[in-house]
Amino acid sequence: MTALFVQGVSHGFGRRQVLSDVTFSIPPATMTVLLGPNGAGKTTLVSLVTGLYSAHHGDIQVFGHSMREAPLLGLAKMGVVFQMPTLDPDLTVSDNLAYHAALHGLSRSDARERERIELERLGIPDRRLEKVRTLSGGLRRRVELARALLHRPSLLIVDEATAGLDVASRRLFLEHVRILCQEGISVLWATHMLDEVAPHDPLLVLHQGRLCWSGRAANLAAGTSLADAFLWLTGGSK
Amino acid sequence: MTMRHAMRALGGILRREMLRLFGQKGRLAAAVVRPLVWLGIFAAGFRAVLGLSIIPPYETYILYEVYIVPGLAAMMLLFHGMQTSLSMVYDREMGSMRVLLTAPLSRWWLLAARLFANAVTALPLVYVFLFLSRFWEVQPPMLGYVLALPAFLIAGLMLGAVGLALSSLIRQLENFAGVMNFVIFPAFFASTALYPLWRFEEVSPALAIVAQLNPFTYAVELIRFALYLKVNLFALAVCCCAFLGFYALAVVGYDPGRGFWARRGAE
């Protein structure tokens, strides 16, 4: 079954059209990269997929559940790392995770066990009692990823989560997500950074609210570099 | 949405609000000191100049301090409700609101849970104030403290719903101070928190009408009657209706298709 199916989605704010007739699908256990320059509409698309906005036109399905008709079933299968930090800085790592676990209906014991597992996998089990405010940007992002995985989602949405991180933190974050993908989680990775795209990745290029390319990254870069192809597609260079 | 899931989420939201509140020592202190200042200073000055006739629920002449304590308790709930509204705007600005709104639960339930958590977290503060007010000879019957609990909850839910509805209309944190001034002070002063309605009627019939239209008046009266072992059914009905009205506004305000989130991208 398709992990995420976006069909004919259009959305705007007032007179400004942000997305126009966007259609794509994400197969299970793949990492699909949504690439686009700033202002392309990536975050709006993520907000529509996560139910923060309601799409004006089109349909979004998460594992067959329409986000218009059965959004709760779709959300239950989804984990999200948002572009902006969403941890409560005045609470500890553990309290932040417990809050998320409760919102997803996990029991206290299950939540504690999941918290232990995910923090260990991300190499930060010793930080669980520290306040988020005291953590570095890279660590906060790892906590956000642990939180998004707490309820065992089948689809992970990552919206420019590595922006502002140093090279080592970015690499660690990306590698972890790729491992998750190998374990069967489907990933939609929104970014504007070309070096996060691997040649074998399914790639969607979004520009000015329109999907202007879809296929393997290697196919887009055939005969040229990915950067040149991307700039050509998005009008950044001839 | 199963009942177990919904209740776990409610517990999680309540726990988070408790942690946040009790982590803010300054806010806690201010919440209790504010009404004590009114009681200790304002009431002391006014008791000499303001005579009070016997009005329900009181059966004898009372001290001015006795009169204003229910109003000050309601003021605590009002400030707490607005503070929660402020924290909703803060959460939205800081991003943590997204975590709440992408939970696989109906939005009406998430907002109701947040309101309930707001009302419950105010209760310990109100009871600390009521305990301290006994030193000012404000000593309602002990059973009154028990009967007042649902009154505090209902009033807290209503005032929290006002704040929640407001938070869906406010775009930026900076705008909040102005809204506080336009909501808290008129709601408090144009109510029966400080003066009985007949005093308003004596001074300004127009103001008396405003006080009668002010939902905060009914929160005050609901608490006042409950503390003295009586139920003001009309105040109860007004508080419940006002709660439902403001809560419905908040649900629309946080609707992904119509409310704040739909407008946000246009900013």
Q: Where are the domains of chain B?
A: 3-262
In sequence order, the β-bridge partners of residue A57 are A10
Residues of A in contact with B104 (CB under 8 A): 71-76, 104-105
What band does A225 get if pLDDT is binned at 50, 70 and 90? Answer: confident
| CB contact (8 A) between residue A88 and residue B257 | no
pLDDT interval class at A238 (50, 70, 90) = very low
Q: Where are the domains of chain A?
A: 1-77+154-238, 89-152
Question: Of residues A16 and A33, which shows the higher confidence score?
Answer: A33
% of chain A beyond a pLDDT of 70:
99
Q: Give the alpha-carbon dihedral of B252, B258, B260, B264, to 10 degrees.
A: 170
Q: Which residues neighbour B210 within 8 Å (Cβ) at sequence distance 6 or greater?
A: B190
Measured between CB atoms, does B77 come within 8 Å of chain A?
A: no
Q: Which chain A residue shows the shortest CA-CA distance from B261?
A: A53
Average pLDDT over residues A185-200: 92
Q: Does B266 touch chain A (CB under 8 A)?
A: yes
Query: Quick one: angle between helices B142-169 and B233-253, nearest 10?
Result: 30
The percent of residues above 90 in pLDDT, for chain B, comes to 52
Give the pLDDT mean for A137-153. 94
Res B117 pLDDT > 60? yes
- Is A95 in Cβ contact with B99 (below 8 Å)? no
pLDDT band at A151 (very low <50, low <70, confident <90, very high): very high
Instruction: Kindly list the residues from chain B whose CB atom is less than 8 angstroms away from the CB atom of residue A16.
Output: 265-266
**Residues in chain B closer than 8 A to A106 (CB atoms):** 8
| Of A4-8, A108-112, B164-168, B186-190, minimum mean pLDDT range | B164-168
Question: Tens digits of per-residue pLDDT, B59-83?
Answer: 778 888 889 999 999 999 999 988 8
Yes or no, beta carbons of A80 and B102 under 8 Å apart: yes
B267 pLDDT tier (thresholds 50, 70, 90)? very low
Contact B99 A107 (CB under 8 A): no
pLDDT of residue A229: 86
Q: Which residues of B touch A91 (CB under 8 A)?
A: 16, 19-20, 23
How is domain A1-77+154-238 classified at the CATH fold level? Rossmann fold (3.40.50)
Tell me what percent of the residues of chain A surpass a pLDDT of 90.
Answer: 73
* pLDDT tens-digit series, residues B125-151: 999 999 999 998 888 999 999 999 999
Torsion-angle region of B152 (φ positive above 0: left; ψ -120 to 50: alpha; else: beta): alpha
Confidence band of B262 (pLDDT split at 50, 70, 90): low
3-state secondary structure of B266: coil
Give the mean pLDDT of A36-64. 92
Sign for the pseudo-dihedral over CA of A159, A127, A117, A90:
negative
The predicted pLDDT at position A1 comes to 82
ipTM, two decimals, is 0.88
Residue A190 pLDDT > 90: yes
More confident residue, B265 or B154: B154
Out of A18, A72, A95, closest to residue B1 by CB: A72
DSSP track, B212-223? HH-HHHHHHHHH
CA dist B34 and A38 (Å) reads 48
Tell me if A148 sits within 8 A of A180, measured CB to CB.
no
Measured between beta carbons, the chain A residues lying within 8 angstroms of B101 are: 51-52
Q: Which residue has the tokens 């939005």?
A: B107
**Ordered strands of the A4-13 beta sheet:** A16-26, A4-13, A57-62, A65-66
Task: Give the pair of three-digit tokens for residue A97.
Answer: 């995770």
Are the beta carbons of B9 and A102 separated by less than 8 Å? yes
Confidence at residue B199, expressed as pLDDT on a 0 to 100 scale: 80
Contact A75 B103 (CB under 8 A): yes
- What's the rounded mean pLDDT across residues B155-179? 81
Q: Mind telling me how many Å the CA of A123 is from chain B's nearest CA?
A: 23
* Alpha carbons B161 and B240: distance in angstroms, whole number: 11
Specify the amino acid at residue A85.
P
Residue B57: asked if its preceding bond is cis (omega within 30°), the reply is: yes
How far are the Cα atoms of A12, A98, B136, B183 from residue A144, in angstroms, in the given order? 28, 12, 50, 36
Give the model's pLDDT for residue B266: 40
From the list B19, B101, B102, the residue facing A91 with the nearest CB is B19
AA letter at A133: R
- Asked if A99 and B12 count as a contact pair (C-beta separation under 8 A), the reply is yes
Beta bridge partners of A205: A35, A213
